[in-house]
């Protein structure tokens, strides 16, 4: 192999590594922005509080009926579920960094799904659409499994930056 060919190959390798690092940084930034935006979103915060209240006491499935579908509480519940459905789609399509979202939202998703599952089941039944909030259910199941499985925790936690940090023995710091 000539020196010119070796230079081209090396240039391509460096370009690919740089691109992968930039994609990872962008993914982590998007995830952090999503987390911070949720903290300032009053509709999101009140919806989470409402779901906590229903987990403790209420009959949340009644909000899935057509009579209650447009009530203020039903709208707040759907807002939170739609937020996490979009988050789950972003995780599944690798738009967001799952590790950051898992560390920030794992407890919230666990408690929210505990409260919202009767509502989701009733909504699926009433509208005859079994795929409603299926991505959210997938994410909740995945994170629930990660709490109880070392392999699942590793699957979520292994990111390109962590591998790079391990391989470089700390000489390269890629933390945002």
- Give per-residue pLDDT as tens, 17-39: 888 888 888 888 888 888 888 88
Instruction: Tell me how crowded residue 174 is: count the other CB atoms within 10 A of its CB.
Output: 16
DSSP at 61: G
**DSSP symbols for 63-85:** GGSTTTTTSHHHHHHHHHHHHHH
pLDDT of residue 30: 86
How far are the Cα atoms of 19, 107, 144, 145 from residue 32, in angstroms, in the given order? 20, 17, 22, 23
pLDDT of residue 176: 47
pLDDT of residue 128: 92
Contact criterion met (CB below 8 Å) for 101 and 34: yes
pLDDT of residue 82: 96
- In order along the chain (176 residues), what is the average pLDDT of each group of 10 residues? 84 88 84 88 93 79 87 94 96 90 92 92 92 96 83 64 59 50
* Rounded CA separation 32/12 (Å): 30
Structure tokens at 80: 């939170």
């Amino acid at each position: 192999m000539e020196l010119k060919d070796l230079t081209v190959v090396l240039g391509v390798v460096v370009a690919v590594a740089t691109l992968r690092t930039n994609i990872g940084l962008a993914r982590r930034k998007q995830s952090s922005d999503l987390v911070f935006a949720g903290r300032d979103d009053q509709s999101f915060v009140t919806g989470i509080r409402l779901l906590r209240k229903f987990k403790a006491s209420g009959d949340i499935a009644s909000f899935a009926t057509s009579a209650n579908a447009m009530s203020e509480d039903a709208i707040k519940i759907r807002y939170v579920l739609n937020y996490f459905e979009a988050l789950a789609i972003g995780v599944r399509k690798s738009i967001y960094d799952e590790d950051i979202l898992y560390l920030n939202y794992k407890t919230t998703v666990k408690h929210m799904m505990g409260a919202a599952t009767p509502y989701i089941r009733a909504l699926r039944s009433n509208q005859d659409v079994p795929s409603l909030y299926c991505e959210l259910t997938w994410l909740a199941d995945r994170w629930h499994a990660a709490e109880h499985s070392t392999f699942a925790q590793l699957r979520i936690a292994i990111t390109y930056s962590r591998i790079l940090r391990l391989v470089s023995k700390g000489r390269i710091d890629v933390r945002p």
